Amino acid sequence: MSDGKYFSTTKRGEIHELKEELRSLDRPKKKDAVKKVIAAMTVGKDVSMLFPDVVNCMQTDDLELKKLVYLYLINYAKTQPDLAIMAVNTFVKDSQDPNPLIRALAVRTMGCIRVDKITEYLCDPLQRCLKDDDPYVRKTAAVCVAKLYDINPELVEDRGFLDMLREMLSDANPMVVANALAALQEIQELAGPGGKDLLQMSTQTLNKLLAALNECTEWGQVFILDSLAAYDTRDPKDAEKIAERVLPRLQHVNSAVVLSAVKVILRCMDVVALGPSGGEDTIKAWSKKMAPPLVTLLAAEPEVQYVALRNINLIVQRRPAVLANEVKVFFCKYNDPLYVKMEKLEIMIRLASDKNIDQVLLELKEYAQEVDVDFVRKAVRAIGRCAVALEKATERCINVLLELIQTKVSYVVQEAIIVIKDIFRRYPNQYESIIATLCDNLDSLDEPEAKSSMVWIIGEYAERIDNADELLEAFLETFPEETSMVQLQLLTATVKLFLKKPTESAQKMISAVLSCATTETDNPDLRDRAYIYWRLLSTDPEAAKDVVLAEKPVIADDSSSLDPSLLEALVSRYLATVAAVYHRPPETFVSRQRLAVTRADELGARKFEEEDGSVPGAMVSDNNAAAAAGAAAAAAASSVGDLLDMSDPTPMPAAPVAAAAVAPAAPRGLDDLLGGLGSLDMGGGAPPAASTSASADPFAALSGPAPATSLSGGGAAPVAGAGMSPAALSQLPTLLANPGGVSVQGRLVRQAGQIVYQLALRNDTMAPVDGLMIQTNRNSFGLGPASQVLAIPTPGGAVPPGSVAAVRVPLLIDVSKVTPPPLSTGLQVALRTTQVGVLYFNDAVPLSALTEETGSMEAADFLAAWKALPPEASARLPLAVPSADVAKQRLAAANLFVLAHRQVPATGQDAIYATCRITAGGVGQVLLELKFVAGAGGVDVSVKAERQDVAQLVFDGLPSVLLGAA
């Protein structure tokens, strides 16, 4: 019967039945039970509670059963090291098994256990396996060195494992060479940019890698090719030798090998080009050999085609000659997906030349008559880009565009007008005869970019268009309703018309436009430009002509070109990687976070997986709640957002953010979790409402949802209603120091269930500062001001010179402003004023401002949630806590609800279990375990939450809470 039967049943009591079968003396029944466990694990069920019974099955001579057990162990070794370390003695024993497969499995599994103490057991077996007679064991051990380096880099260096890996590059088996090379590359990446060169590529090493290239597997070849591409040589002869050995790899069936080989050959081309003869003949010969394999990649399925096309796009930008004669290959097929068509179109434009432009234009004209609107728009734009790039073909491109305009299809006509404007800018005073045709199609224009392009053409060539004033007047009828792009273009075109043809109608038009743009618009760019034109025209019309009608620079087609340095990096280092698909360097989208390494001394104190036995020690129940206060941290996020989106001063709507659901109550067998937490008396009542200490709040004298009061400090004259001393002001951290200008102090706090920004603005200028508005950039928690306008309670809402004004800014959560993971506490803020412009400063969101007053939970729910949530993250905070009572007080004051407190036997440590809820950013419920010796340095913190990136937020925010600074 097929093994599929193991996936077919799900029934109650299954775990108990499996446990009985695993303990059976009948070997076939035991093997069948292990297969059922593996099947359950494969479909995502948690079968970790069977760990002891599965491990007992390792004591067998049955190779198949032992392999199944190791498969189970490898899965749980990464996520539950506290379980896997229980079987470490068995691993050490199996590392000397006569069967090489068992030896390899043992050392591989030990490498997956991320516990610091495992290194004591792993080093000797690993050293033996690196020198094993069997190549399979050696290649497995080589990869294990990289895993060990991630846990303990110093140990790997001290025990000489790096030297052993370098020696393995001379191994007789090509797969051992490839794995050793892969391990060294991984270690080099873990060491970071500042690490020393571990590979130390020499001519001898190079020859060994080239010799192994033909014999190892396809992924081994990729590793070797990547190292060859990174080999820095300036000798053209070396480059030719490498290229000749790599060229046969272009015929490989695996596309990754082909693209990696192309990367090496392109690198060799650069070196050969530096030679005395320039290497033109050699480069031409290599280019001819590279073209067919690249073309062959386009015969694969669409997804592979797309990846290949993105890589080919980079190659064509770097070396267009490689595929100069293959433009037909990139013609689109009727059944190509849109994303493939778009990439092919981009490459066609890059390969277009005077020789093949007729073919390309014929093809593009066909595309412009298809039904897919996006594809049609791209095709029309492609014709325009060809005209801009190829001067000799411009007239043919324009004729094709005119034919498309005659179709009267709205979006085709509009795209054609947009690209014709670019052609006019590239070739001024050459093709203006077609303007009449464009003017006949004004009725079909309804898109902002097309309208602004047509208006630009009318304004630029007003003296050649008899009825230019009438055409512009038709556009001006809807001036107030147009987008800013069209309004700006209309303003400039009207000024051009007036300067070129100063008729009475033009004068009326310019007066109406300038009046509307300066008095009836909220767009500062439009208003400023209108004032400039008005002053130029009223003071010196000749100067206005020199400015507005000045000769414009000729444009070039660089709309889709990458920065040269980025292109060089992508082609030479990242071809055939995800970076080449994104056309972005890896650091912009790859997080370099490393998995946490568990300390072995923590594992013994935890009883989460046991089924019986209670932990001795008195337990104390706490369920207090107190006020939250803010503390700024020195970190700033680099998220991208519309930081100056201050156009709408109305409050943002409050957006609900779903909190993570707490897991259901755990079964009674888990009641010993955290040493009897489930038996605690939790007090029964709801936590008291939060209150804020007046002595700690320098804004306590202020009232209302968003009030403002001025305060004196540093010799500044107070504004009416001041209620704050210089000492109170000094408690606020300085966010922006600007002597002689406007300085900002402030902090984020939590008051009455809401996050509030307490700000103090000092005006050291010589004039009042008004028009104060605030905006935040996109951030991890979606925080933004409820109202962008700061209400300063003085005439005109101004801060007088030499004064300080205090203001509260309530913040709301806007899910549209939440940035993607990982979480960052950084907050970028912009403060706009009428007199001194926009001020920028960075702040950090403290943990105590985010934790909510309703974040407590029942003990049983805590137990169940701790079991259900992903593995915890741990860290040691370098600070001292005077006593457990002080710690509980300070945690409660920051809405970190203490659920239990116990003494850890034989350690002198206090263990506190607490929880909090953070709705902002969708964080949800967070569970904490704190262990410390009162008065001694160091607090061990473990955090569990639905999101793994929450841990760092807690680690950063807890010190200020425990030290009483929050």
Q: What is the pLDDT of residues 640-689, one digit of tens each?
A: 333 334 333 333 333 333 333 333 333 333 233 333 333 333 333 333 33
Contact 782, 817 (CB under 8 A): yes
Query: What is the average pLDDT across 303-318?
Result: 93
Instruction: State the average pLDDT over residues 28-34.
Output: 89
- Three-point CA angle 872, 873, 879, nearest 5°: 125
Q: Which carries the bigger pLDDT value, residue 32 or residue 12?
A: 32
Q: Which amino acid, 602?
A: E
**C-alpha angle 744-748-752 in degrees, rounded to nearest 5:** 130
SS3 for 882?
coil
Single-letter amino acid code for the residue at 12: R
Q: Are strands 742-751 and 754-763 parallel, antiparallel or unpaired?
A: antiparallel
Q: What span, in angstroms and rounded, lies between the C-alpha atoms of 880 and 691?
A: 27
Q: Rounded CA gap, 325 and 290, in Å?
A: 12
Positive or negative CA dihedral for 71, 72, 77, 79? positive
Using DSSP, state whether 8 is helix, strand or coil.
coil
Given a cut of 90, whether residue 24 has pLDDT beyond it is: no
Residue type, 824: S
Q: State the pLDDT at residue 755.
A: 92
pLDDT tens digits for range 78-136: 777 766 777 777 788 888 889 899 899 888 888 887 777 677 778 889 999 999 999 99
Contact 787, 885 (CB under 8 A): no
Residue 110 burial class via C-beta count within 10 angstroms: exposed 0-12, middle 13-18, buried 19 and up: buried
pLDDT at 727: 65
Maximum mean pLDDT: which of 590-594, 609-613, 622-626, 935-939: 935-939
Least confident window among 95-109, 315-329, 581-595? 581-595
Count how many Cα atoms sit within 13 Å of the Cα of residue 602 in the half-sphere of its side chain. 23
Pick from 37-46, 254-263, 697-706, 727-736 the range whose average pLDDT is largest: 254-263
pLDDT digits (tens, 9 = 90+) for 835-865: 887 788 889 999 999 999 988 998 888 988 8
Q: How far apart are CA 339 and CA 392, in angstroms?
A: 31
Average confidence score pLDDT of the chain? 80
- Residue 965 binned pLDDT confidence (cut-offs 50, 70, 90): confident
The Cα 485–Cα 451 span in angstroms is: 9
DSSP 3-state of 507: helix
By mean pLDDT, which of 49-63, 137-151, 882-896 is the weakest? 49-63
The length of the chain in residues reads 966
Given a cut of 90, whether residue 489 has pLDDT beyond it is: yes
Query: pLDDT tier at 592 (50, 70, 90 boundaries)?
Result: low
The answer to whether the pTM exceeds 0.75 is no
List helix spans (H) across 43-134.
51-56, 63-79, 81-84, 88-94, 100-112, 118-130
- Smallest CA-to-CA distance from 341 within 294, 305, 389 is with 305
Higher pLDDT, 280 or 596: 280
| Rounded Cα–Cα distance for residues 351 and 330 (Å) | 10
Residue 144: pLDDT over 90: yes
Strand bridging mode 734-736 / 708-711: unpaired
The pLDDT of residue 770 is above 80: yes
Contact 246, 213 (CB under 8 A): yes
Q: How far apart are CA 705 and CA 708, in angstroms?
A: 10
Whether the per-residue pLDDT at 495 is higher than 60: the answer is: yes
Contact 742, 764 (CB under 8 A): yes
* The pLDDT value given to residue 196: 76
Percent of the chain with pLDDT over 90: 32
What is the Cα–Cα distance from 892 to 855, expressed in whole angstroms?
A: 11
* 549-571: burial string, b at 16+ Cβ within 10 Å, e else: eeeeeeeebeeeebeeeeeeebb
Retrieve residue 336's tokens. Answer: 């190509």
Burial of 703 (0-12, 13-18, 19+ CB in 10 A): exposed
Q: In 787-825, at which residue ranges do the beta strands (DSSP E only) sit?
A: 803-813
Question: 887: which residues sit within 8 A by CB, 6+ positions away?
Answer: 881, 910, 912, 930, 932, 962
731/743 Cα distance (integer angstroms): 15
pLDDT for residue 602 is more than 60: no
What pLDDT, on the 0 to 100 scale, is given for residue 643?
Answer: 38
Contact call for residues 895 and 625 (beta carbons, < 8 A): yes
CA 27 to chain centre: 50
d(CA 638, CA 588): 11
User: Residue 722 — pLDDT band, cuts 50, 70, 90?
Assistant: very low
Q: What is the pLDDT of residue 506?
A: 87
- pLDDT by residue (tens digit) across 335-392? 999 999 999 999 999 999 999 999 999 999 999 988 899 999 999 999 999 999 898 9
Q: What is the pLDDT of residue 558?
A: 62
pLDDT tens-place string over residues 230-245: 888 888 888 889 999 9
Q: Which residues pair with 914 in a beta bridge?
A: 898, 928
The model's confidence at residue 708, banded by pLDDT at 50, 70 and 90, is very low
The answer to whether the peptide bond before residue 822 is cis (omega within 30 degrees of 0) is: yes
DSSP conformation class of 93: H
Provide the β-strand partners of residue 774.
831
